[in-house]
Amino acid sequence: MTTAGHNSGDVSDKDRKVLFFINRKNYLEAQAAQKAATARMKQVGKVIKADLGEYGLDQIKTYEKAQTPEGQAKLKAKQEAERQAMAFAGVPINTQLDIFTDRAPLTERAYRDGEEAGLRGDSLSNPYNEGSAEGQEYARGWHDGQGSLFAGIKKKEEAASGDELIIRGGGDPFAEAAE
């Protein structure tokens, strides 16, 4: 019995040659897409470093990991291991067992959660009763987050368009070509 993708001796040399070139083309396209994606990731990394500093990408990765219970558990274990290593090195640090307990009032947490959802670009899907104080704070936070997100995007686009004008010399880009 033959498995999918395994060609038995039943394939002629001519058919095998055609399959070779089809697969070669697919491979080269995928390789080019991978190189483009790698270049894009490097560019995004440079922008993150310029905008958020040396540890900005680490912050983003930590944020993404913290979105799941499994990721939170890994982050807590890593933080505890780092705290322990610092203690071994004699670095004075605070140890607070309830460091991850959020003691903020529910309305503040609802606002913060809504703001985060707005900043992520999520649609307004209020987990609270919309008539409750928490529901209203979540919605207010979401709207504030959306406003901040769009203002930030606009500011970055304006800065980028200003950079292009500087790169082109600020004059008519077609003037030299006409001369």
Cα Rg, the chain, nearest whole Å: 27
Tokens 């058919």 belong to residue: 15
Planar angle of CA 148, 152, 158, nearest 5 degrees: 145
Residues 6+ apart with CB under 8 A from 57: 45, 48, 49
Indicate the DSSP class of residue 89.
Answer: T
Alpha-carbon distance of 92 to 137, in angstroms, equals 39
Alpha-carbon distance of 170 to 164, in angstroms, equals 8
Residue segments in the chain with a per-residue pLDDT below the cut of 50? 1-2, 97, 165-179
Looking at every residue in the chain, the average pLDDT score rounds to 83
- Under 8 Å between Cβ of 95 and 119: no
pLDDT at res. 62? 96
pLDDT at res. 89? 74
Q: Beta-carbon neighbour count of residue 35 at 10 Å? A: 10
Nearest CA to 113 out of 126, 100, 103, 130 is that of: 126
Indicate the DSSP class of residue 163.
Answer: H
Q: First and final CA of the chain: distance in angstroms?
A: 72
Nearest CA to 76 out of 101, 52, 55, 51 is that of: 101
pLDDT at res. 144? 94
